């Protein structure tokens, strides 16, 4: 990070290579929108560039810091969406299978994405951090500024909801 703050081009490029994909993936799950996720990632790294020169080693893990900043930016966007729900809200989930009764792989993906996007914001965030980003529960709890017990509660509710909503998809997937 010190090299990044000094304008070391190679260090900046390495930082982007290592963390950009994860930041975009996390923001994409929280927002339910890949294009908005890229905007958030760009804002995250803009803050990295301005903060790098004053980064103190040991003050925080970089991944924790990146996800915390990304989450805050995502929450800002979600709050703006609530003020303009008709224009920017994701499509409501529709788990009904196609008339043929069997779901193709791409359709399963689409349905799973929609169901995750339909989860409440905090459940969706907890799931993104623990299941998809592979974070430890204490790190995820720190990012969300909650206790580990609260995190486990959010995760359990999220997965139970998904299990119910995806049951038709799961049975079709097993049959196919």
Show the site string, 28-57: x = touches another protein by CB under 8 A, - = not.
xx----x--xx--xx--xx--x--xx----
Of 40, 14, 55, 32, whose CA–CA distance to 110 is shortest? 32
Alpha-carbon distance of 153 to 157, in angstroms, equals 6
Q: Is 102 in the site for another protein (CB under 8 A)?
A: no
Q: Is 120 in the site for another protein (CB under 8 A)?
A: no
Of 105, 109, 106, 141, whose CA–CA distance to 125 is shortest? 141
**Site residues for another protein, window 66-85 (CB under 8 A)?**
none
Size of the site for another protein (CB under 8 A): 51
Q: Is 63 in the site for another protein (CB under 8 A)?
A: no
Q: Contacting another protein (CB under 8 A), which of 4, 78, 129, 141?
A: 4
Of 140, 109, 110, whose CA–CA distance to 124 is shortest? 140
> Token digits for 4?
């990044």
Q: Is 98 in the site for another protein (CB under 8 A)?
A: no
Alpha-carbon distance of 137 to 129, in angstroms, equals 9
Q: Contacting another protein (CB under 8 A), which of 2, 7, 82, 104?
A: 7
């Amino acid at each position: 990070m010190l090299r990044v703050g000094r304008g070391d081009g190679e260090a900046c490029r390495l930082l982007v290579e290592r963390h950009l994909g994860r930041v975009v993936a996390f923001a994409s799950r929280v927002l339910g929108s890949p294009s908005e996720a890229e905007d958030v990632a760009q804002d995250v790294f803009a803050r990295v560039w301005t903060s790098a020169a004053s980064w103190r080693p040991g003050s925080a893990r970089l991944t924790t810091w990146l996800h915390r900043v990304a989450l805050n930016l995502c929450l800002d966007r979600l709050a703006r969406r609530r003020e303009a729900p008709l224009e920017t809200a994701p499509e409501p989930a529709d788990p009904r299978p196609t008339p043929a009764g069997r779901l193709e792989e791409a359709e399963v993906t689409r349905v799973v994405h929609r169901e995750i996007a339909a989860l409440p914001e905090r459940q969706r965030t907890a799931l993104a951090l623990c299941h998809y980003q592979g974070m430890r529960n204490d790190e995820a709890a720190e990012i969300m500024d909650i206790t580990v017990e609260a995190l486990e509660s959010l995760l359990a509710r999220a997965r139970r909801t998904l299990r119910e909503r995806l049951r038709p998809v799961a049975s079709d997937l097993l049959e196919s």
